[in-house]
Structure formats: structure tokens, C-alpha cells
Amino acid sequence: MITFYEYSKCTTCRKGKKFLEDNNLEFTAIDMVENVPSIDTLKGIVDRSSYNVDDFFNKRGGKFKELDLKQRLPELSDDEKFELLASDGMLIKRPMVVLDNQVLLGFKEENYEQALLN
């Protein structure tokens, strides 16, 4: 089962989605801005990934900069970080591919090939 979290206006998300479609992979697409994952969902995703919660922030995004999270993030607890992520899908790094036992953040074709085609 592949769950593909995306923001439809994101070019990188379009590339990731095209990869999935071009390789005839079945997936469920979720617009992470319209349907922001809950705190519990995010915790489950982080738990099954090789990343820590900080890696899930879209550090290049306007919202991240607007909230001055570059300075604030190190001072926040994990619970506060999850609350922030669940409050606004624009804060979440994208696209995010969730598999049964692995999570891919962003789009790098070689990572998608390794995780999804082997």
C-alpha cells in the first residue's frame, strides 16, 4: 500500500506523482494542505520512518520562514513540533510517500526506484 501525500500546486509533488503513474504503481493520493494529517497519523509516520520529526518540516517554505521556525524549532518539544505540523499542511515536507515500513520525503527518482521498484 502506497500513500502519497502531496500539495497539488507543488512541482516536486507532480514529479513524484508522475513517477508513480508512469510505473503503474497503485497509490492513494492525499492533499496534505486540504487534509492535514492528524498528530497521531504524523507520529505513526515518523515512527515507521528513518527520520526524526524535524526532518518532516518544509524548511524552504514560506510558512516555516514566516513562523521563524529555523530559530524556534530547536527549543520546541516533539509534541509541540507535531502540533505545528498537524496545524498546517504547508509546514510538512513534500511529497511524502508512506509505505508499510518506510517513508520517503521529497522526490529523488533514485530513492523512489529503490524503494518502489525493487
What the block records as the C-alpha cell of 8 is: 497539488
Report d(CA 78, CA 115) in Å as an integer.
27
Segment 28-34 mean pLDDT: 97
Q: Which residue has the cell 520529526?
A: 53
CATH number of the domain that 58 lies in?
Answer: 3.40.30.10
Q: Is 48 exposed, middle or buried (0-12, 13-18, 19+ CB in 10 A)?
A: middle
Q: Report pTM.
A: 0.94
Amino acid found at 43: K
CA pair distance 67, 34, nearest whole angstrom? 20
Q: Is the per-residue pLDDT at 62 higher than 90? A: yes
Distance (Å, whole) CA 74 – CA 68: 11
Please give the pLDDT value at position 118: 79
Looking at residue 56, its pLDDT comes to 98
**What does the block give as the cell for 88?**
498546517
Percent of the chain with pLDDT over 90: 97
pLDDT digits (tens, 9 = 90+) for 96-105: 999 998 999 9
Rounded mean pLDDT, 45-63: 95
How far the first Cα of the chain sits from its last, in Å, is: 15
Domain extent at residue 19: 3-116
Number of structural domains (the chain) is 1
Angstrom distance (rounded) from CA 22 to CA 7:
19
Q: Is the pLDDT of residue 83 over 90?
A: yes
